[in-house]
Chains A and B, each alone.
Chain A
Amino acid sequence: MSTFLQYLIYGLQLGSVYALLALGYTMVYGIVGMINFAHGDFLMIGALGTFFIAKLFTSFNIDGTYPMLIVAVIILIAMLGTGAIGVGVEAIAYRPLRNKPRMIALITAVGVSMFLENFPRALPFIGPNPRSFPTLFKTVRYSFLGASITSTQIIMISLAAVVMVGLYLLVNKSKIGAQMRAVSMDKDAAALMGINVNRVISITFFIGGALAAVAGICYASVYPQVEVYMGSWLGTKSFIAAVLGGIGDIRGAMLGGFIMGISEIFATAVNSTFGYAVGFIILIVILLVKPAGIMGKLTKEKV
């Protein structure tokens, strides 16, 4: 029982990362219909960025960690920065291709991903070597029903949860959220209704980037080696999570992320190759059973 609980905790932790990242994929797909292959790299930018931002605040560093206020500031800066990069990428590389076939934007996304990974790598102060992510929180280990859970894990999972709830409220209860939903249903009609489509899309990419930054921080707090290629594999798995939940659906992305995270942890416990493959197995099963994803709705083409 306690091992089960332990794995569950790790699963929730990994699941939060996947869920946060999957949200970015799903929102972008919902709004502009493209799969942003570079999204995983936003996670890396968030994590690596936090590493460097934390350096700026070293004066506040007390015995290895930072005070909570400073941590909040660091995370906020990382979110804003990554969000801004997201907006920039959209404006430069994706916006001009909005009316072209989707594969063109996809290939461009591949190029963007390549650039986001290799440009920092070439910069002398970053380079290819992994860096050690700073400890942002004092780690206190708690015991719960026989399993151990650290304060870091609690904070990470809670942070992810708070962010997700906030996003859900934003999309469903706010005016900008209504605009986002309108654009995702019919871009042209939304424009005719007076919605500034470009602004809505930029905001979506900003949110996606910010969420990816949080995901990166959560991930790096547990696996502290950060390097330029860390985002792409996580991105692929989060993308599968988004599809699993129903691409374009926010609750689906969250659900998919947690399912992927939890299954991966339990599967790896059985066998490492199984852990590697379980994501794909789940994917194939869902595609055979319900291709639109758990929450998705298949739209029929009108003849």
Chain B
Amino acid sequence: MRPIRVGVIGAGAAAEGIHLPALARTAGVETVAIADPSADRLEYVADKFKVPARYRSHQDVIPHIDAAIVGIPHQYHAPVTIDLLRAGVHVLVEKPMALSTAECDAMIRASESSGARLAVGLLRRFAPTLRYTKQVLESGMLGPIRSFDVREGMIFRWPVKSAAMFSPQCGGVLADIGTHVIDLLLWWFGDVAGLDYRDDAAGGVEADAVLKVEMAGGITGRVELSRTRDLRNSCIIRGERGTIEVGTKTDSIVTLTPVHGDASLSGRAVLPGQQPPGNLGDLFAWQMADFVRAIQTHSAPAVTGTEARRSVAVLESCYRRRQRLVFPFETLLDAAASEKAS
């Protein structure tokens, strides 16, 4: 079979650290082109991964490729992906799929009308431990589920190459990390029935956010997200017969504790015939392999546009109902801000 000619759209930290290394490990593809408006980044990344063709615009890449990996600031996901899909190019777009459901719908329509595949990079769905958690929940082992508590935060150290990621149109920690968490909640528990969302953005993008949700099935929970704090990075799910705690990062430990029990079982989950993922790179490689499979077999990828749209809908709803998150340690700023508000 002729290899799939892949173009990488965006030569930022994601392309360099994740997409190009994952492509290099994937059978059946050939990375033929890369596009980025920044000439410096374009040359640097293309040289590093020996990508032959370099373009400043995604439009110029289209004639040379069958498929594209889109890793650019969030606000450009929709327009760029739509251009590619309309031209018949299969797309794996990073999460969040877009920043509004209207954009998601346009992307889905573009894919349907041209027949090009649309996959979304919600790669946590490939993590065995997180899949195992879904299976435990569905099996009824924990009895009816009552509540969950997610805390995910790291002092931000992502090696961003420009200020683009911090532009107000891009969204903050909710759009970035929150999308992953929301996707897990939707995948595990079903749809969201109600929410209360607070963050600390004050004319820019949020670094800390707290989301309280009620799922359609009546399960309630709390999500705390941060770019300024190192948090426990796990989700604790409480059922009538026991508790499960699972690391929300990719290569995580899952711990099961029966109700009233004083012992826990903890470890990694594995899939048949597969080693546990060593790092983020392994998961990206699995995601890439799934994308290639979808193209080669003319079937749906593991995470479709329709599926990813669900988390964008929650994201959109959060930003629409946003309230100010008040910190316990702020005095002067709080006073000044409330003075302004009044």
Does A pair with B? Answer: no
